[in-house]
Structure 1
Amino acid sequence: MKKYGLLVFLLISFGALSQENGEDEFGAWYMYFGMNRISERFSIHTEAQFRFYESTSGFNQLLLRTGLNYHINPDAITTFGYAYIDTDPTFESDENLVNTILEHRIFEQFILKNKVWEFIFEHRYRLEQRFIRNKSLQPFVDDAVDLEHRARYRIQMTLPLTDTFFLNFYDELFINLQDELFGQNRLYGALGVNITENSNVQVGYLRNQFTNAVFDRLQIAFFFNPDLRGIFKKGK
Structure 2
Amino acid sequence: MAKRIIAIWLLATVGLYAQNTGEDELGAWYMYFGMNRISERFSIHTEAQFRFYETTDSFNQLLLRTGLNYHINPNAIVTGGYAFIDTDPTFESDEILINNISEHRIFQQFIMTNKVWELLFEHRYRLEQRFITIENENSPFFERNTEHRARYRLQVMLPLTDTFFLNFYDEIFINLQNSIFDQNRLYFAGGVHVTENASLQVGFLKNHFNNRNFDRLQIGFFYNPDLRGIFKKKAKDDG
User: What TM-score do you get using the length of structure 2 for normalisation?
Assistant: 0.91
Q: CA deviation at 1:97?
A: 4.2
CA contact (8 A) 2:133 2:145 kept: yes
Partner of 1:43: 43
Distance in 2 separating the partners of 1:11 and 1:123: 45
Q: Which amino acid aligns with 1:82?
A: Y
Partner of 2:211: 212
Structure-to-structure mapping, 1:1-150, within 5 angstroms? 15-94=15-94, 97-138=97-138, 141-150=140-149
Partner of 1:229: 228
Cα distance change of structure 1 residues 96 and 232 upon mapping to structure 2, 3 Å threshold:
farther
Distance in 1 separating the partners of 2:142 and 2:169: 36
Count of residues paired in the alignment = 228
Q: Which moved more, 1:101-110 or 1:8-17?
A: 8-17
Q: CA deviation at 1:14?
A: 6.5
Partner of 2:5: none
| SS of structure 1 residue aligned to 2:148 | strand
For the aligned residues, what is the CA RMSD? 1.9
Q: Which moved more, 1:194-203 or 1:129-138?
A: 129-138
Q: Which amino acid aligns with 2:69?
A: N
Distance in 2 separating the partners of 1:44 and 1:96: 42
Structure-to-structure mapping, 1:136-175, within 5 angstroms? 136-138=136-138, 141-175=140-174
Deviation readout 1:82-121 (Å, 9 max, x if unpaired):
0000000010142784221000000000000000000000
Q: CA deviation at 1:144?
A: 2.5
Q: Which amino acid aligns with 1:232?
A: F
Q: Which amino acid aligns with 2:159?
A: P
Cα distance change of structure 1 residues 224 and 78 upon mapping to structure 2, 3 Å threshold:
same
Structure 1 residues not aligned, in runs of 5+: 1-7
Deviation readout 1:33-75 (Å, 9 max, x if unpaired):
0000000000000000000000000000000000000000010
Distance in 2 separating the partners of 1:156 and 1:37: 22
CA contact (8 A) 2:97 2:136 kept: no
Distance in 2 separating the partners of 1:132 and 1:203: 31
CA contact (8 A) 2:67 2:79 kept: yes
Distance in 2 separating the partners of 1:154 and 1:170: 7
User: What TM-score do you get using the length of structure 1 for normalisation?
Assistant: 0.92
Distance in 2 separating the partners of 1:171 and 1:188: 6
Q: CA deviation at 1:138?
A: 4.6
| SS of structure 2 residue aligned to 1:56 | coil
Structure 2 residues not aligned, in runs of 5+: 1-7
Deviation readout 1:148-178 (Å, 9 max, x if unpaired):
0000000000000001100000000000000
| SS of structure 1 residue aligned to 2:18 | helix
Distance in 1 separating the partners of 2:127 and 2:67: 13
CA contact (8 A) 1:19 1:92 kept: no
Q: CA deviation at 1:76?
A: 0.1
Q: CA deviation at 1:137?
A: 2.2
| SS of structure 1 residue aligned to 2:20 | helix
Cα distance change of structure 1 residues 185 and 197 upon mapping to structure 2, 3 Å threshold:
same
Q: Which moved more, 1:23-32 or 1:142-151?
A: 142-151
